[in-house]
């Protein structure tokens, strides 16, 4: 009976839906963490500790040096190397968008590739301009590659940073 009600009422704007959403928010809220053996409740300190934890965990030993001209040009002929630097036509950019998987998880902006494809008539010109701008300047807009990280407790009552699961939401242009 409860499963039936859950399936029927979960997506409606009802008191039941809001109770479920509020309970989930309470369960996922990080109100205190044990950091260096001490229980911390100050949100600013928790935030700093989490950032430091993941910076230490995912730090890069050294940056790899990648040079298109030095490494790749020796492996392909000059004509193919030159073709890599040619401005793509708008049709090729649209083809590349259509080759992307439509139903992957949305980014931090809430949109997945299906949105971009369906709204191509409205946003296609601007999207194409951003891609062509990259080919002209070799730079992407600062906000085009943002990743938001949300932390979800692995279990109820998580007390340490290692008890939290990072979930990343990658943005797009």
Domain tally, the chain: 1
The 10 Å Cβ neighbour count of residue 95 is 11
d(CA 15, CA 19): 6
pLDDT of residue 94: 94
Q: What radius of gyration do the chain's Cα atoms show?
A: 23
pLDDT of residue 2: 60
The 10 Å Cβ neighbour count of residue 56 is 8
Containing structural domain, residue 115: 89-173
Instruction: Please measure the distance between the N-terminal and C-terminal CA atoms of the chain and give it in whole angstroms.
Output: 45
Domain assignment of residue 138, yes or no: yes
Domain assignment of residue 27, yes or no: no
Domain assignment of residue 13, yes or no: no
Domain assignment of residue 41, yes or no: no
Domain assignment of residue 35, yes or no: no
Domain assignment of residue 132, yes or no: yes
In a 10 Å sphere around its CB, with 0-12 CB exposed, 13-18 middle and 19+ buried, how is residue 60 labelled?
exposed
Domain assignment of residue 36, yes or no: no
8-42 in b/e form (b: 16+ CB < 10 A) is eeeeeeeeeeeeeeeeeeeeeebeebebeeeeeee
pLDDT of residue 172: 62
pLDDT per residue as tens, the chain (173 positions): 566 666 666 667 788 778 888 887 777 777 888 888 888 888 898 889 888 888 888 777 776 666 555 555 457 788 887 887 888 999 999 999 999 888 776 655 667 788 889 999 999 999 999 889 888 888 877 777 677 778 888 887 888 888 888 887 666 66
For the full predicted model, state whether its pTM sits above 0.75.
no
Domain assignment of residue 78, yes or no: no
């Amino acid at each position: 009976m409860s499963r039936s009600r859950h399936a029927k009422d979960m997506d409606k704007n009802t008191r039941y839906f809001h109770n479920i959403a509020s309970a989930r928010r309470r369960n996922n809220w990080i109100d205190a963490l044990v950091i260096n053996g001490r229980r911390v409740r100050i949100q600013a300190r928790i935030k700093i500790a989490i950032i430091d934890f993941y910076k230490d965990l995912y730090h890069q030993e050294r940056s790899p040096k990648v040079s298109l001209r030095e490494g790749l040009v020796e492996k392909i002929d000059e004509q193919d190397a030159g073709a890599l630097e040619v401005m793509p036509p708008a049709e090729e950019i649209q083809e590349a968008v259509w080759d992307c998987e439509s139903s992957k998880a949305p980014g931090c902006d809430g949109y997945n590739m299906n949105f971009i494809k369906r709204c191509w008539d409205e946003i296609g010109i601007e999207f194409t301009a951003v891609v062509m701008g990259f080919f002209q300047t070799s730079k992407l807009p600062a906000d085009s590659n943002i990743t938001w990280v949300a932390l979800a407790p692995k279990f109820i009552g998580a007390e340490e940073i290692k008890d939290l699961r990072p979930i990343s939401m990658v943005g797009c242009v």
